[in-house]
Structure 1
Amino acid sequence: MAYRLCKNLGDSIRVPQLVISKLPQLEDDWLRVALMVISTGETDPARLAHSLRLKSPEKAREALLFWKGAGLLESCDDSGSSTGDLANASKVRSHMTTPEVTAAARNDPAIAALVQESQRLMGGVITQSDTNILVSLYVADGLPVDFILLGVAHFVSLGKRSARYIERALLGWQAEGIDTLEAAERHLKLLTLRSEREAEVARLFHLTDSKFTKAEQRLIASWYEEFSYDESMISEAIAYAGEKQSVRYVNGILRTWYSKGYRTVRDVIKDGALTTQNIQPTNPSAKSVLGKGPRRAPVFKQTGGK
């Protein structure tokens, strides 16, 4: 028996060639979801599952992820603007499921590359849970693969091999606007520089290591990055602090000097912040620390052979 198309008496939609090319590998649910999305624009998993009588919204999510990987869909935020991630899926679930990862990987070779390189960096096969977390960062959160891998390499070098730890750190970077490879590389260079500066400050304080608290690290970073002070200014402030040699106390001195316009040790001395030489008060008052307390006693030269 032969067949032919009936005369189309109803509405029609144009099906992208992309969908036609994927027909040999499609599951029924994925094709139904694609046709519904093309026809109505609906992308909510729960409503798609209800309209198409799917077993669960999970089936709709798998289909959406497949079509996102295939290039038929791009996700958007609540306002409808494109974001490059699967916003709806990430809001419903904190991490992708294994079927979702499998579906997304079928049409996106970057996912396989991400998993394989992560395994190499972590020194062996990673768990499915860790795989789901890392792939979620790429698919659901929109982070580039090279960005994620740079983060994995960095944190593994610090002994942090937990995918959840890496996830929190990278999402923290993203929240700060660090969401490209170039931005991440600049950020890591800054972290390295800060670590070197903390070691320098530890040496000036005569500490055996540079393990400062997070609050102290922020203060130390501000000395260099906000005040633009160098080792000589920090050393001067430490000496001026006397017995009160703590990061917070020295920060008070430096912040006061900065507000007064002191940019170098010469400025501090020139403006009368230091009035004598070679003498350190044993317990300087707050006023003398931030103002004009003596630090050096004058040097007298003998004259007339006396």
Structure 2
Amino acid sequence: MADIRFVLPGSDTITLDGRTVDKLIRAGDGGAALLYLYAIRTGGALSVSQAAKIFCRSEKDISASMELLNRLGLLKYDETRAPAQKDELPEYTADDIKHELQNGSVFSFLVQEVQRRLGKLLTSDDLIKLFGIYDSLGLPPEVILHLVTYCIDENTRRYGPGRVPTMRYIEKAAFTWEREGIMSLEEAEQYLKQLEAKRSLTGEIKTILQIRDRELSQSEKRYVHGWISMGFSPEALELAYDKTLLKTGRLAWSYMNSIIVSWHQKGLHTVDSIRAKDGVGAVSQKKTPNKPATSPVDELADYERMKKFLEKMKEE
């Protein structure tokens, strides 16, 4: 096939300096590169929700790309940005709910199934919240039922059997799923598998950090989940923990995080690469002086002395 060459039009072009292009190429993230081009094209102002709609990606993916651009020094957060929008559903009335229940819509079936799974009748306020999840967030009915089952399982795991989640709890989880772009059963299953994997890794990391008989605080969770998202294994984090203890004598979260971020920036994520490039975790083996071998003659002399000693004890 002939080598086809392309050129940019002479007008309305965007110019990038070579160092910026090199950074984007080395990062190897096409989504981040596209996001950067869009930010340049629009004058640098960009929000997560806006970009998610434009590129048809989840807000989580956009945030990850923005974080990468921030680490590369190509994008910085606006310190004066507006506060994050609260997770609030539109205000619905009892008449709105009554109309939906009476016209034989899918929502009527959804209400019956949610009540069956929760084992209780929904109050007027519960119905309004459920309708908001269905109507405003746009989650499909089958995804909502999967969400309700997930919330029931979470409550059982935390508090034991018999305690069902509130509709407010389900509503908060629904906002999370909506932000993650979960709109099908397949996406829901994949998301729950990722949560379970993260929970398992978090448990291993808690053991390494010698945290027992308590849950992690929200700040501690942010640290741990951040390390997991960077791709560090529990074994690699154990090296950072050991280094932290040697330096501070305790679990200093910010200090340990600085070590891990430093490794991440250097591209060191495995135990072998960290030991090879950063000189961490190589345990020095102290040689134990070899004891001189005992000769058979010496052993026989010891035996004879012990025998005489025992005979003397009997005579006394």
Give the TM-score, by structure 1 length: 0.56
Aligned counterparts of 1:210 and 1:195: Cα–Cα separation in 2: 14
| Deviation at residue 111 of structure 1 after TM alignment | 1.2
Give runs of aligned pairs for residues 89-238 of structure 1, distance below 5 A.
94-159=90-155, 161-209=165-213, 211-226=215-230, 228-238=231-241
* Partner deviation per Cα, 1:80-111 (whole Å, 9 max, x = no partner): xxxxxxxxxxxxx8243222122223344421
Aligned counterparts of 1:211 and 1:255: Cα–Cα separation in 2: 24
| Deviation at residue 304 of structure 1 after TM alignment | 9.1
* Partner deviation per Cα, 1:52-102 (whole Å, 9 max, x = no partner): xxxxxxxxxxxxxxxxxxxxxxxxxxxxxxxxxxxxxxxxx8243222122
Structure 1 or 2: more helix by fraction:
2
Taking structure 1 as reference, are residues 147 and 304 closer, same or farther at Cα in structure 2, changes over 3 Å only?
Answer: closer
Aligned counterparts of 1:103 and 1:272: Cα–Cα separation in 2: 66
Listed as ranges, the gaps of 5+ residues in structure 2 are 1-88, 156-163, 294-316
* Aligned residue type for 1:147: V
| Deviation at residue 174 of structure 1 after TM alignment | 1.1
* Aligned residue type for 1:208: R
* Contact preservation (8 Å) 2:275, 2:282: no
Which is further off, 263-272 or 202-211? Answer: 263-272
Aligned counterparts of 1:156 and 1:276: Cα–Cα separation in 2: 46
Aligned counterparts of 1:128 and 1:274: Cα–Cα separation in 2: 60
Taking structure 1 as reference, are residues 205 and 304 closer, same or farther at Cα in structure 2, changes over 3 Å only?
Answer: closer
Aligned counterparts of 1:103 and 1:275: Cα–Cα separation in 2: 66
Taking structure 1 as reference, are residues 103 and 196 closer, same or farther at Cα in structure 2, changes over 3 Å only?
Answer: same
* Aligned residue type for 1:171: F
State how many pairs are aligned.
194
For 1:271, what is the secondary structure of its paired residue? helix
* Contact preservation (8 Å) 1:114, 1:135: no
Counterpart of 1:253 in structure 2 is 259
* Contact preservation (8 Å) 2:239, 2:280: no
Counterpart of 1:38 in structure 2 is none
Taking structure 1 as reference, are residues 165 and 263 closer, same or farther at Cα in structure 2, changes over 3 Å only?
Answer: closer
Aligned counterparts of 2:138 and 2:227: Cα–Cα separation in 1: 35
Taking structure 1 as reference, are residues 304 and 199 closer, same or farther at Cα in structure 2, changes over 3 Å only?
Answer: closer
Larger RCO: 1 or 2 (CA < 8 Å, sep 6+): 2
Q: CA RMSD, aligned part only?
A: 2.6
Aligned counterparts of 2:118 and 2:134: Cα–Cα separation in 1: 18
* Contact preservation (8 Å) 2:209, 2:251: yes
Taking structure 1 as reference, are residues 171 and 266 closer, same or farther at Cα in structure 2, changes over 3 Å only?
Answer: closer
Taking structure 1 as reference, are residues 158 and 261 closer, same or farther at Cα in structure 2, changes over 3 Å only?
Answer: closer
Aligned counterparts of 1:276 and 1:174: Cα–Cα separation in 2: 46
Counterpart of 1:294 in structure 2 is none
Listed as ranges, the gaps of 5+ residues in structure 1 are 1-92, 278-296
| Deviation at residue 210 of structure 1 after TM alignment | 5.7
* Aligned residue type for 1:302: P
Counterpart of 2:286 in structure 1 is 299
Taking structure 1 as reference, are residues 266 and 276 closer, same or farther at Cα in structure 2, changes over 3 Å only?
Answer: closer
Aligned counterparts of 2:239 and 2:99: Cα–Cα separation in 1: 62
Aligned counterparts of 1:276 and 1:115: Cα–Cα separation in 2: 60
Counterpart of 2:271 in structure 1 is 265
| Deviation at residue 207 of structure 1 after TM alignment | 1.5
Give the TM-score, by structure 2 length: 0.54
Taking structure 1 as reference, are residues 207 and 140 closer, same or farther at Cα in structure 2, changes over 3 Å only?
Answer: closer
| Deviation at residue 127 of structure 1 after TM alignment | 1.0
Aligned counterparts of 1:110 and 1:246: Cα–Cα separation in 2: 53
Counterpart of 1:282 in structure 2 is none
* Aligned residue type for 1:268: I
Aligned counterparts of 1:140 and 1:303: Cα–Cα separation in 2: 77
